[in-house]
A and B are shown apart, each in its own frame.
Chain A
């Protein structure tokens, strides 16, 4: 599934032109690293890498349970002018992506921003749509969570739909 997802991403970004690939912490970052690895093996040579922590930009800080740990954002690259691919694991309401767009605006002005998500579960609360989707889920009840687990952080690759604890 990830291979097909990366196929679509590769079709959208010519391998000879430089672009930046930025993951949203935590699992978006792990996925961004995988995508980078796969694209490099397909001959992509000029991928700038960064990682974004959006905690400080969220509009729902009070609703997301235990105090979130704020972790550093690392964008040592210049994001100005070049296309930028933003990566996250699950797209739901769109609020994380909005926060990420706000954060990116504080670092510069990319030539274009595209969005890749492993899972689109619908349920948007904002006019935000993905450009590259790995898996589309429909009819996931709002009170359920879509959990993406990844080898690097969770020991195995798995997508599951579970009732919210």
Chain B
């Protein structure tokens, strides 16, 4: 095997102790995280899938909402970096006794925690926390505001597939108004030069999104043949108001990624979904499980991205 020497890395640096949103970040900072994640992906291919970078550090998963993927992914990322992990969930905690978010967080921090990963139903919860505690805060989803690590892993997966992001046309389809994934994707993709097309009924995709630099389209079929990536969002029944969403059948007919609609896509279209999927509703099963689906790759890449994020925020903490 011949290894070709690579040029020295660009003089980029990371100084943020928290990761709260992609709106905050510059294009260079986003690229820096993606490049860092690239290196961490290799760790997961080793026979010993662990490095000592965060040995002796403690990460707490503070989840005030349900989660499978994100929570597991953060835990596994932390353990591959040799950090210790505490799992905190609202159920069975003193939150049910009326303790406030800030008091809960301060108490967790007082035990000597280095990173709090927080998911919360209220937009701005992570930001509020970051102003209160001195450890690092990583936003794992705050209401309909942002889910930055999901945005980053989507960017990473798209970049891995196409070798670039600039110039691609990406459709994000479905329940945009209630989606933090859509917002993080929108910020990240536009900063890196992709064209974002938000698709869905007017009740779920208001024109106001055009102000953020996206194209808003209410007729999926009018754009489906022109996009490189289709990111199908989950219909979030727990957040949706009935007036926004007439019926499942109607939604599937106009906005679902069905077999008929899939035939109109570009032949090399890349299909994504942040999970959990409503199979047969926003996406049909054979497309989700088919060769053009990146859905499980997204999950795999999420681990590398979260390892990168945990490493970077901890390093910034040491400097600050």
* Chain A proximity of B51: nearest CB distance (Å): 4
Chain B residues in 8 Å Cβ range of A33:
2-5
Chain B residues in 8 Å Cβ range of A74:
3, 42
Residue of A nearest to B311 (CB): A70
CB-based contact A153/B7 at 8 Å = yes
Which of B8-16, B108-116, B223-231, B265-273 forms part of the interface with chain A? B8-16
Is A107 among interface residues, defined by CB-CB distance under 8 A? Answer: yes
* Chain A proximity of B170: nearest CB distance (Å): 27
Is A77 among interface residues, defined by CB-CB distance under 8 A? Answer: yes
* Chain B proximity of A95: nearest CB distance (Å): 14
Residue of B nearest to A63 (CB): B318
CB-based contact A72/B39 at 8 Å = yes
Q: How many residues of A contact B (CB 8 A)?
A: 35
CB-based contact A153/B8 at 8 Å = yes
| Partner among B3, B9, B48, B52 whose Cβ is within 8 Å of the Cβ of A49 | B3
| Partner among A32, A67, A107 whose Cβ is within 8 Å of the Cβ of B315 | A67
Complex Cα distance A61/B14, Å? 14
Is B36 among interface residues, defined by CB-CB distance under 8 A? Answer: yes
Complex Cα distance A19/B39, Å? 26
CB-based contact A56/B53 at 8 Å = yes
Residue of B nearest to A36 (CB): B2
CB-based contact A106/B48 at 8 Å = yes
Complex Cα distance A106/B311, Å? 19
Complex Cα distance A76/B31, Å? 26
* With A48-B1, A102-B52, A153-B7: A73-B42 Cβ-Cβ less than 8 Å: yes
Complex Cα distance A29/B1, Å? 14
Complex Cα distance A71/B2, Å? 18
CB-based contact A67/B9 at 8 Å = no
Residue of A nearest to B82 (CB): A56
* Chain A proximity of B122: nearest CB distance (Å): 31
Contacts A26-B5, A57-B51, A74-B42 aside, 19 further interface pairs with beta carbons under 8 A come to A29-B5, A32-B3, A33-B2, A48-B1, A49-B1, A51-B3, A53-B39, A56-B43, A56-B51, A56-B52, A56-B81, A61-B318, A69-B36, A71-B9, A72-B42, A102-B52, A106-B50, A107-B48, A153-B8
- Rank and list the top 5 A-B pairs by shortest CB-CB distance, nearest first: A62-B318, A69-B9, A56-B51, A56-B53, A70-B39
Q: Which residues of B contact A (CB under 8 A)?
A: 1-15, 32, 35-36, 38-43, 46-48, 50-53, 81, 308, 311-312, 315-316, 318-319
Q: Which residues of A contact B (CB under 8 A)?
A: 23, 26, 29-30, 32-33, 36, 48-51, 53, 55-57, 61-62, 66-74, 76-77, 102-103, 106-108, 152-153
Q: List 7 A-B contacts (CB under 8 A).
A: A26-B5, A29-B3, A33-B2, A61-B53, A69-B9, A69-B10, A106-B46
